Structure 1
Amino acid sequence: MTRMLRRLAIRSAVIGAIAAGAVVAVPQTAIAEAPCQDGTARVFLNNATNLCQSGSATYTARPAITKVCSTGGTKVVIDTDGPRRVNRRHVELDPGGHCARFEVEGQESATVQVTAA
């Protein structure tokens, strides 16, 4: 409920500012809500950025992955590594908006592979 009210407040503020002719800086949360194309995965990093990824990529501890979401028509496989058991994970996401969160502390690397479903 709080999240929905926050989104509504941000959207109302942006609409009001645009109507007044002001330049609007779009917050990162609004950017994160923009969907990735089918055939990609949304990868969220611990430095408050996110990107739409296709193919295969390996991320190091800086920046580490915090969350990965699949899109339509893609299978996403994530393998993380680190010294603790919680850092060593193998996750497979089915198509259609499924997400997984990952422990950042101790994460040494993560490989994200996006393939057609």
Structure 2
Amino acid sequence: MTRTLRRLVIRGSVIGAIAAGAVVAIPQTAIAEAPCQDGTARVFLNNSTNLCQSGSATYTALPAVSKVCSTGGTKVVVDTTGPRRINRRHVELEPGGHCARFELEGQESATVQVTPA
């Protein structure tokens, strides 16, 4: 009963804050406020960080790549390696905000290449 009441109070507070125009801290909100520039890709890592990348970079299992998104004017190619078939992927993202998610468990490395479209 107490747990249910606590959930209702928290949900009510969030809804009230949104209705009043307050900013509620949600990870996706931070991304929208600081988008990557055209010509880069946003790379999300499993340690809850993300960065804007240009050129080519290889990430090892720590930190592993969980998601990659393209921006305007870029083509992004991601190659991942690992022991399982789901870890070995080749993904090409077209320009303009296309994203791909990657399996973290077993990922040994991920190479992200950003080139002009």
Q: TM-score, normalised by structure 1?
A: 0.78
- Is the counterpart of residue 65 in structure 1 residue 74 in structure 2? no
- Structure 2: any 5+ residue segments left out of the alignment? 1-13
Residue 102 of structure 1 deviates from its aligned partner by 0.3
Alignment of 1:45-64 (within 5 A): 45-64=45-64
**2:31 corresponds to:** 32
Give the letter for the 1:59 counterpart.
Y
RMSD, aligned CA = 2.4
Residue 14 of structure 1 deviates from its aligned partner by 3.7
- Is the counterpart of residue 13 in structure 1 residue 12 in structure 2? no
**1:20 corresponds to:** none
Larger Rg: 2
Give the letter for the 1:61 counterpart.
A
- Structure 1: any 5+ residue segments left out of the alignment? 16-25
Segments ≥4 residues shifted beyond 6 Å: none
Give the letter for the 1:30 counterpart.
T
Q: TM-score, normalised by structure 2?
A: 0.78
Matched residues in 2 for 1:42 and 1:32: separation? 9
Matched residues in 2 for 1:55 and 1:32: separation? 21
**2:99 corresponds to:** 99
